Structure 1
């Protein structure tokens, strides 16, 4: 069954937020050309004011009753009065079990509907304080790209919405399909939800980019890497390497390394029949126990469950 994604357009919708979600999900096809997602844009009224232009929306809110995932894009002024018709439609969809996700200031809409109460959530850093003050029952985290709280997923602004959508693809169809979606969008696949919204970057220098060093690390994931080893390869002191890494990547070197190893493990679980302990060793884990614990913490399920879900070649 094709996964149905409905994107809700409201007056003052941020067009980029709407279109990035549409492009990520709508362009995905399997090897036979069959779409992974059935993507539809809906609204309370047929015409939506998008600021510099208007949208003619083909579907009404009634299609939310059949949606598996509902995307709420940002709106220019999150403090404007939200339509009670839209809020009730979102509430009904949530009670039915649909997954709801917001981009940027779309989190204000979910909060107004009461769907973020008691949950951890995020939004664009410019609106985080206002979201927290207006909805004190929401646990606002302004320092992340997106928050996956199960049935509700929220993201920060612009490119963070892309990261969230790729994350949802990974949840639905696995790492290989998410990587393909990232290639179609010419977007990175390795930005984690916990990464900081602001990533300070040093001015470009001939020896200042970490990109070649990250490629080296990715090619040596099975080796016993340490910060000292990575710093030596980059010809930096450990302290300088750790500082530059945090500035450019938003996470520590070891956090990045762990995530890279789990991503590689996901690829192997999807594409090979190797035993779990062999995959753990190939990805640089010192023990299968440590691998299983780390995999479950990051991927949300066990390696065995992940393989059963995403490996078509499994026996």
Structure 2
């Protein structure tokens, strides 16, 4: 009977904590027995004030020493404050033995990384935190497209609902795939949701002070045309080499990568309408459907057909 110790701190996102507890409690109910034992712990063993609610805990760090799984609920986007306030947790996490699973939901992957638990490992977190995470922890192999990552005894998940994906994954590990599916069904949750890429915006926002803003706006109007680096450089009144440097600095992308994302973003809007895939491919600048479909899946994590089906179901 696995014991799960859930860490609570002032930055804990209450919905993330309650979602995890609900999932494992529901697994116990569906299984008809106490398959999972849940405990909450804090640094000091004292109740934790979340501002609008006070969370009772069962003990301090020593309580979780013998747990089978340590689970860090999401801790919000104030990364510096979270790392500072939970500094005492980091060396304790670093000492976790390999037989003890440790899992983070969403932004709490920063706590695992700061403790050195993700060095040389695969991990994920919320797509909006990817740039910050990579800058802080280049030694971690970040797979931001994945909803759930497991590398050895360390697990991580992406955004809010990906935390439920991770909980279902753990329920499947310890209680079987059938139980995990029953819990997903009871929660009316699609456990086959593909990748996190489907939810991340394809393009960074155009900042008004960006020196390339006029060129980016022009690209957003003329993306379907035949455009190469020399044409863009001429439009920006600079050399191709200079444009490459400025483009990467301003957008984090190469001009060609940006162009493909503009085209695929336009295709996403057209897929909400009645046009055939061949027509959409042509309208956004691709000569054939195969090239369009391949790039679409690379950037969006699903095929154009799957995207169309999903958004139409959502609109309905």
Structural mapping, 1:111-260, within 5 Å: 111-192=113-194, 196-198=198-200, 250-252=301-303
Distance in 1 (CA, whole Å) between partners of 2:34 and 2:269 is 41
Decide which structure has the larger Cα Rg and report it.
Answer: 2
Q: Deviations over 1:200-251 (max 9, x none)?
A: 976997989xxxxxxxxxxxxxxxxxxxxxxxxxxxxx869968x959x833
Partner of 1:79: 80
Q: Which runs of 4+ in 1 moved over 3 A?
A: 192-208, 238-243, 252-255
Report if aligned partners of 1:87, 1:112 keep a CA contact under 8 Å in 2: yes
For structure 1, the 5+ residue unaligned runs are: 209-237, 256-315
* CA deviation vs aligned residue, 1:125-165 (integer Å, no higher than 9, x gap): 12111111112211222222121112111111101111111
Residue 257 of structure 2 is matched in structure 1 by: none
State which of 92, 108, 111 in structure 1 corresponds to 2:110: 108
- C-alpha separation in 2, matches of 1:114 and 1:22: 26
1:148-194 CA distance string (max 9 Å, x none): 11211111110111111111212222210110111222211213567
Whole-angstrom CA distance in 1 between matches of 2:195 and 2:106? 14
Counterpart-to-counterpart distance in 2, 1:123 and 1:159 = 12
How far off its partner does 1:108 sit?
Answer: 0.6
Q: Unaligned stretches of 5+ in structure 2?
A: 202-264, 276-288, 307-316
Q: Distance in 2 between matches of 1:37 and 1:124?
A: 27
- Report the TM-score when normalising by structure 1: 0.62
SS state of the match for residue 200, structure 2? coil
Residues 112, 240 of structure 1: alpha-carbon distance in 2 compared, 3 angstrom cutoff: closer
Residues 145 and 197 in structure 1, CA contact (< 8 A), matched pair in contact too? no
Q: CA RMSD in A?
A: 3.5
